Amino acid sequence: MNKENKTIDPKTIKGWGIDADPKNDPTYPMRERMNVSQDPDSKHRPASLQPVDVEVLKSIERPNVSAVFGTPEPPSGLSGAIRRLAFHYSENRYRHWLPLIVADRVNMVEGLIDDLAHGKVPNLWAEKGYDMDWKYKRGSLILKLAAVTAMSAGLAVWLSSGGDKAGNGRRPKAGRRSKGYIDYNDYSS
Amino acid sequence: MEYRGPRRVRAVQKPMPEIKHPQDAIVRVLRTCICGSDLHLYNGNVPDTRVGSTFGHEFVGEIVEVGKEVTKVKVGDRVIVPFNIACGECHFCRQGMFGNCHESNTEATAVGAIFGYSHTAGGFDGGQAEYARVPYANVGPTIIPPDMDLDDAVLLTDVTPTGYQAAEMAGIQTGDTVVVFGAGPIGIMAARCAWLFGAGRVIIIDKEDYRLEFARGYSYCEAYNYREMDDPVVFIKKITDWMGADVCIDAVGAEAQGNALQTITGRKLLLQAGSATALHWAINSVKKGGVVSIVGVYGPTDNLVPIGNVLNKGLTVRANQASVKRLLPRLIDHVQNGILNPKGLITHRIPLEEVADGYRMFSAKLDECIKTVLIPPTANR
């Protein structure tokens, strides 16, 4: 594969060097060029401000709500409570970001519950786009599904066979030979 | 498009967006793309990505409604919508830093506002929809030239400016050797644009042979698969006369593969703000005194990178979200003059209703996917 690389004369490439600039020093130093480094109006804001008619969580690293902001999906439920808590802390702190990630996961469960509450069973196959795997990567999809099925079955077997060993007040008494399962009809003891 | 949790999206009917600010416009979306950085959201790696959100920061459309202070565009105009939301008036916008506006994101100061990119990036719904609310319509939206293909236009919202700015920030001097990590659409475009700044040699590194082959043809660059190398850093040193590249560009970001420790801690356990493998390689592959340009997206917490080497090698590191508004006039010229061919990156066109399939195909790199365009059902009215 790597053998296919060819040497090319850059000057034959359309547009070569068209934007070359020995003084190229973009982005941050641009403020020097534009003479705003000593900006007398650095706090300038747009004249019109979006009315705050939904709950907006504000970073404590700024003094105000920005002139425009997104309104979809305001905080709600348990995830919203976690998000509100996170915004007590600055963006400099893990206790800001980690709760937000936790809230995202809680929000996912809330979304599932909300779907079910509205009589909608999520089509996980479609939402995960597995039709594409079926079309282009069927072998590995089947392998993945087989692995998940095998693990689920193994877990089910383990739980059903190991549940009695775990106790729960149903451990066979010493000296008695275990049947390997719990016989709820056996009152002989 | 609606996000339901990690790797779960679906198409739903949502209410029409409304004018919320006098400078808002409502746009009927004509083309929208899935971006590599959407995968960070899709995988659930960006904090404060709320269920019910609509992603999509690459879109073009037709203005169907404007707020009372909108004067620069009118109903019926077809516009390129830059991915970042910028007021044009704040301290940062007036420096041309339209990707770092201070008046569009209440929820974080570490990032400007981006359409459809979580509440950490402002909480705006994105353009993977039939209609979208576009704030500051006097600033961002740029009228699409009549002779420009919509497919070219939609790739001027992010891919082309981000790839171009990656090369621009690299401060490429005539004859420089440029190494681009990542042969996704941004990396391929960065490699192509490196020539515009006078690069003498352009090399791209990835793990997908089909993308490397594409990059070789599209960007006229050398392309190498890191899976065929013992160590990509040693490989690059070796092919640059043991000096290292003049410039390295990280066009991968948080989803990088190639290092188990980074993958496990950055992508699986989220102990880092993404896997910083590409950035790690960039820092170690660039020559002493060289430039590392970062356009790959990382999260807001921390990453494991060899910062000591940045110091000891005397490197310059430059990074930013692309300032799309600033770059658009130049890039429109390049497209109209045939120098850049953005639509050449598009490999798949998918109806918006099949958005879940589009995400799966793009994230799993199925069917040799490089760039996916979503077409809303209302686009052809």
Cross-chain Cβ contact B212/A1 below 8 Å: yes
What's the rounded mean pLDDT across residues B195-210? 97
Residue A95 in contact with partner chain B when CB distance is under 8 A? no
Judge: A50–B222 Cβ closer than 8 Å, yes or no: no
Residue B25 pLDDT > 70: yes
Predicted TM-score (pTM) of the model is: 0.90
Say whether pLDDT at A73 is over 60.
yes
pLDDT for the residue B271: 86
What pLDDT score does B267 carry? Answer: 86
Band of the pLDDT at A43, cuts 50, 70, 90? confident
Give me the mean pLDDT over the A41-55 stretch: 91
List, in order, residues 6 or more apart from B82 with CB less than 8 Å away. B98, B140, B141, B142, B157, B158, B161, B324, B325, B328
Q: Where does B145-220 show beta strands of DSSP type E?
A: 177-181, 201-206
Is A73 within 8 Å of B109 (Cβ atoms)? no
Residues with Cβ < 8 Å from B354, sequence gap 6 or more?
B11
Which residues on chain A are in Cβ contact (under 8 Å) with B110? 91
Residue A187 pLDDT: 45
Answer whether residue A41 shows pLDDT above 90: no
Class of the CATH domain delimited by B160-319: alpha beta
Q: Higher pLDDT residue, B182 or A25?
A: B182
The C-alpha R_g of chain A, in whole angstroms, comes to 31
**Are B10 and B356 spatial neighbours (Cβ–Cβ below 8 Å)?**
yes
Q: Does B174 sit within 8 Å of A108, measured CB to CB? A: no
Mean pLDDT of the region A100-122: 96
Give the burial string for B324-359 (b: 16+ CB within 10 Å, else e): bbbbbeebbebbeeebbebbbbbbbebebbbbbbbb
As to burial, measured by CB atoms within 10 angstroms (0-12 exposed, 13-18 middle, 19+ buried), residue B13 is exposed
Cβ atoms within 10 A of the Cβ of B208, count? Answer: 17
Can you give the pLDDT at residue A24? 66
Does B293 contact A at CB distance below 8 Å? Answer: no
What is the average per-residue pLDDT within A74-86?
98
Q: Count of CB atoms within 10 A of residue B117's CB?
A: 31
pLDDT tens digit sequence for A99-110: 999 999 999 999
* Interface probe with B: pick from A66, A71, A121, most Cβ of B within 10 Å: A66
Indicate the pLDDT class of residue A2, thresholds 50, 70 and 90.
Answer: low
pLDDT band, residue A178 (cuts 50/70/90): very low
Say if the Cβ atoms of B360 and A130 lie within 8 Å: yes
Task: For residue B220, list chain A residues with Cβ-Cβ distance below 8 A.
Answer: 8, 13
Write out pLDDT tens, residues B337-380: 999 999 999 999 999 999 999 999 999 999 999 999 999 999 97
- Judged on CB neighbours under 10 Å (0-12, 13-18, 19+), A18 is middle
pLDDT higher than 70, residue A170: no
* Pairwise CA distance, residues A99 & B339, whole Å: 47
What's the pLDDT at A72? 95
* C-alpha distance across the termini of chain B, in Å: 20
Answer whether B273's CB lies under 8 Å from B254's CB: yes
**pLDDT at residue A30 is higher than 70:** no
Minimum Cα–Cα distance from B302: chain A residue: A94
Amino acid at position B330, single letter: R
pLDDT of residue A183 exceeding 60: no
ipTM of the complex: 0.91
Fold of the CATH domain B2-158+323-380 = Quinone Oxidoreductase; Chain A, domain 1 (3.90.180)
CA distance A189 to A179: 14
Specify the domain boundaries for CATH 3.90.180.10 within chain B.
2-158+323-380
For A75, half-sphere exposure in the C-beta direction (CA atoms, 13 angstrom radius) is 21
Chain B segment 299-358 residues within 8 A of A by beta carbon are 299-301, 318, 320, 323, 330, 334, 338-340, 356-358
Poorest-confidence range of A37-46, A167-176, B357-366?
A: A167-176
Given a cut of 90, is residue A172 above it in pLDDT? Answer: no
